[in-house]
A and B are shown apart, each in its own frame.
Chain A
Amino acid sequence: MIEVQNLTKQYGPVTAIRDVSFAVAPGEIVGFLGPNGAGKSTTMRILACFMPATGGSARVAGYDVFRESMEVRRRIGYLPENVPLYTDMRVAPYLDFVAEVKGVPRSARKKRVADVMDRCLIADVQHRLIRNLSKGYRQRVGLAQAIVSDPAVLILDEPTIGLDPRQITEIRGLIKSLAGEHTVILSTHILPEVSMLCTGVVIINRGEIVAQGPIDRLVEEFFPTARVEVEVVGPRAAVLDGVRAIQGVVRVEETAVAGNGAGRFVVESARGRDVRGEIFQLAAQQRWTLLELRQVGMTLEEVFMRIVAGEESEATAAPAAVPAVEVTEAAP
């Protein structure tokens, strides 16, 4: 549904995105992740036909965003980052205007607008001036204008920013309900949101795509081993040897020495092999005090942190805490 190939955008001498390529299948919800200034909004603006790219091509719903921009625009709903709305208009007339501009036929318009207001939970403010609405309501009006024409593709730039926790849950529910019939690409800072909503993820950093794919596969790819973090009080060498001796353990790395004589270790074992029980038994046997024992490296958040941190340390040429270069190279 969305195919992006070698997309590049330059603002004068500044390159906002470079050689960005990814694809989104119909009915998928894809999360677009990246730190601030990574090029998320630029990519989305190009996809929404707001501005042309400097190089490369992008197709949305089978049409080229530059050459067949009108066809693309008929099939998308776009919510820009700062949710720009006509603050001097009232909610219902505003949505009616958007529906008319987007070509919803006159006979269906009234019903569509009413449906969308129900769906986005804004029916109670439909006669209010947008200027007087709270941030949460504005956000939902923005989302309503994106879906009012029932577009095949939704491009949502940070749709849940600035909402309170309850509203976030509601909006997420709404977005989730759009999956299947709509293809959604959404950008966000909130990583758990991606895990909750999205089937796939595209991670962008400093204008380049560093990783993409289904979330589980990414996690596996970036963390081929299962990791357990251990904090234990005990003789350092004995602990290292003891843990290494456990079957399935690939590597043990000491990460820090705490003041009270405790040591922190990261234990890597073959994926699918949980060594926590054995570590506990070992500590109990040796009468070491086990302060902490937890699995790490299993979430998208950690993948993200690792990629972004890796990229940054690579950029500053500082000694990397993680094998950063290797990680980025491994990205498809």
Chain B
Amino acid sequence: MRIWPIYKKELRLYFTSPVAYVILTTFLFIAGYFFTSIFSFFVRSSMQMAMNPQMGRDLNVTDSVLRPLFGNLSVILLFLIPLVTMRLFAEERRSGTIELLLTYPVRDGAVLIGKYLSALTMYATMIAGTLVYPAMLAFFTRVEWGPLATGYLGFLLMGALFLAIGLFASSLTENQIVAALITFGALLMLWIIGWVADLVPAPYGAVFTHLSVLEHNDTFAKGVLDTKDVIYFVDLTALALFLTLRSLEARRWKG
């Protein structure tokens, strides 16, 4: 399996074009804005509560700063991840380079994994940028490292799923904008699919609830590591990657 050269090439392409830098900057700028506003609010409310000792007991940074921050950041990722993955296959198809890539002695699976890992690296770089916020918090107060670690794990798992869906969308078309839009639609749908849970008959409601990302990513930020949630992300990621592989194969037959 020659994953390594594909991975290196994709990573090089991310960082030789301005796209990666624009995405990183946008993401960290908005993340910084969220952190500042949430943390300022936290500071103000803890001051108020300090004056009233009965109320101030349950206030901690995990619940009041990190959880809302992670929640907000996942919404931004909903918008940004389609931009991270849209290029991966669509651009190769549009420029025709896929014809060479798929005649090199590498399996389609290795191409897929190499590209996926490069997107994951790009994503991890984005997320790593947000580590400064807990670091700053740790400077002033006691941070609970356990929930922080699970929070980031949740972030990674969610990103892994979103990227896999984006990769699949990119393999369907040669137009990057179409790929990004399909990804965005799919991610948003995954986000809000739980909303109909109350409206459909009983057994189906649970299915919709379970399918929703919202249902699964908040537990990580709380510091809960539930296998049910881990399996949800791993399963759907594997499914999306499998579909991508199939889509690559189907494209070969169609010529």
Contacts and interface: CB of A to CB of B under 8 A. Distances in A.
A236 B144 CA distance: 110
B100 A80 contact: yes
Interface in A64-107: 70, 73-74, 76, 78, 80, 82, 84-89, 93, 97-98, 100-103
A119 B6 CA distance: 26
Contacts of B254: 11
Contacts of B6: 101
Contact of A50 (B8, B103, B105, B107): B103
Interface in B231-255: 252-255
B13 interface: yes
Nearest to B102: A50
Contacts of A85: 97
Contact of B13 (A42, A70, A76, A88): A88
A84 B12 contact: no
Contact of B12 (A52, A73, A89, A102): A89
Contacts of B102: 49-50
A145 interface: yes
A45 interface: yes
Given A11-B255, A51-B252, A51-B253, A73 B105 contact: yes
A86 B252 contact: no
B52 interface: no
Nearest to A129: B16
B105 A101 contact: yes
A101 B4 CA distance: 9
Contacts of B139: none
A100 B96 contact: no
Contacts of A11: 254-255
Interface residues of A, number: 30
B103 A76 contact: yes
Contacts of A42: 255
A294 B15 CA distance: 63
Question: Chain B CB within 10 Å — which of A73, A85, A86, A103 has the most?
Answer: A86
Contacts of A50: 99, 102-103, 252
B141 interface: no
Contact of B99 (A45, A86, A88): A45
B95 interface: yes
B107 A70 contact: yes
A98 B104 contact: yes
A147 interface: no
Interface residues of B, number: 26
A91 to B, nearest CB: 13
Interface string A32-66: 00000000001001001111100000000000000
B16 A52 contact: no
Interface in B75-97: 95-97
A45 B254 CA distance: 12
A85 B97 CA distance: 6
A228 B11 CA distance: 65
Contact of A52 (B99, B106, B253): B253
B13 A102 contact: no
A87 B95 contact: yes
B28 to A, nearest CB: 24
Contacts of A52: 252-253
Contacts of B96: 80, 82, 84
B5 interface: yes
Interface of B: 2, 4-6, 8-9, 12-13, 16-17, 95-100, 102-107, 252-255
16 contacts: A11-B254, A45-B255, A50-B102, A51-B253, A73-B103, A73-B105, A76-B103, A78-B103, A80-B96, A82-B96, A84-B100, A86-B95, A89-B16, A93-B12, A97-B5, A98-B104
